Amino acid sequence: MTSFVHGIALLGFEDFALAQGLDPRATLAEIGLPGDAQDGVISGVQFNALLELCARRSANPLFGLQFGLQQGAKALGDMLYAIQNAGSVGGALQALMQYFHVHSNGAQLQLERHGGYARLLYEVTDGEAHSVRQTVELAMGISAHLMQDLLQHAWKPRGLLLRHSSAAEPGLYRRLLGITPRFDSPVNAWVFDETLLNVPLSAADERLCQLARFHLDELARITLQELPGYVQKLLRIWLPHGQVCIEQVAEHLKLSPRSLQRYLRAENTSFQALLDDTRQALAARYLRDSSLSLTQLAGLLGYADLSTFSRAFSRWNGISPQKWKRHQLSASTAPLSPACPAAGPSV
């Protein structure tokens, strides 16, 4: 299965790349990514290759680490709401692990406890990604920033384990992280006192945490193939409350309208086609089952006026909504044909 990374992982990429002497648009294009890649979902292999290319072109072996430290926890996108509003640091890390696959399904986070110490482990699981040094260090930079946000001055890690060898002088790592990593380790992990997991988060909001988890659960269930059906579900819910546009749906999905249209085209449909299909189905249902006036129905389907709805209905069905409803009423009140008598035996 091809892995993906949510485009929010490129948060701040343009400014950071420019500061490193790179042309961000040209670098994205070289990897095969569009300029608006941050607004969609991108291949995990491409994301990994982008970081490796940037490190080489900028002659900065710590590109990934510095980029992660600059992004901070904001690069986690919607997950941050569930994380920050958990009851404790341990609860925040559990939320991070539970929903990390929404952010990236080509890597894994684990929390282990060993004799008074805890380890937050990170592993790239996408077998198609080759050198993953930059991706790993970016993740460790982001997670260090997250732990500092959660714990403030109490964040005093006992160690940083990295599976790869040192890409720069160890002192450079220490200046950036406050600690010298142990390279060529069997795992990638932050090591810290287990007691820190019990530290409560004073700003926790249980209701906001529940809402964030509900939204993440919804996103986790959506695959590209399921996206058209999910968009139609939103349309059925939102249309009775007013007009619905692609910008509203895209905002709910944390995508740009352009990216949403691109994904729908990949499934041989479009936002307008889904909107038409949904309106057509709802119009037939309301006309059959309700006594609403056509003007009220037009409003429920998000049309500005009755004439616009009538034109759309005639385009779908070849007749006006008034005639369609009369035909339906005639069919429902027509007397049933008498049953044919059973055939007698032949003589």
- DSSP labels for 256-324? -HHHHHHHHHHTT--HHHHHHHHHHHHHHHHHHH----HHHHHHHTT-SSHHHHHHHHHHHHSS-HHHH
* Residue found by looking up tokens 């986070």 in the block: 109
The CA distance from 310 to 188, in Å, is: 62
- CA 270, distance to chain mean position in Å, is 19
The CA distance from 98 to 138, in Å, is: 20
Residues with Cβ < 8 Å from 46, sequence gap 6 or more? 31, 32, 33
For residues 59 and 24, the answer to whether their CB atoms sit within 8 Å is no
pLDDT of residue 344: 41
Quick check: 188 pLDDT over 80? yes
The CA distance from 133 to 119, in Å, is: 19
Q: How far is CA 8 from CA 73, 86, 202, 253, 342, in A?
A: 11, 22, 27, 12, 71
- What are phi and psi for residue 124, nearest 5 degrees? -80, 120
The CA distance from 25 to 14, in Å, is: 8
Residues with Cβ < 8 Å from 340, sequence gap 6 or more? none
The CA distance from 148 to 192, in Å, is: 12
- If pLDDT is split at 50, 70 and 90, which confidence band does 214 have? low
Q: In the chain, where do the E strands start and end? A: 4-6, 41-43, 107-114, 117-124, 159-161, 189-193
Quick check: 141 pLDDT over 90? yes
pLDDT of residue 42: 84
Domains and CATH numbers, the chain: 4-198 (no CATH), 222-332 (1.10.10.60)
pLDDT of residue 193: 97
pLDDT of residue 30: 96
Report the percent of the chain where pLDDT is more than 90. Answer: 48
For residues 222 and 198, the answer to whether their CB atoms sit within 8 Å is no
Average pLDDT value for the chain: 86
Angle at the Cα of 298 from the Cα atoms of 296 and 302, rounded to 5 degrees: 115
| pLDDT tens per residue across span 18-68 | 999 999 999 999 999 888 888 877 888 899 999 999 999 999 999 999 999
| pLDDT tens per residue across span 63-116 | 999 999 999 999 998 788 888 888 899 999 998 998 888 888 888 899 999 889
For residues 20 and 54, the answer to whether their CB atoms sit within 8 Å is yes
For residues 190 and 147, the answer to whether their CB atoms sit within 8 Å is yes
| pLDDT tens per residue across span 217-259 | 666 556 666 788 878 878 887 887 778 899 998 887 767 788 8
For residues 139 and 56, the answer to whether their CB atoms sit within 8 Å is no
The DSSP 8-state label assigned to residue 191 in this structure reads E
The neighbouring-strand residues paired with 108 are 123
- Region 264-285 average pLDDT: 89
The neighbouring-strand residues paired with 177 are none
The CA distance from 100 to 87, in Å, is: 18
The three-state secondary structure class of 235 is helix
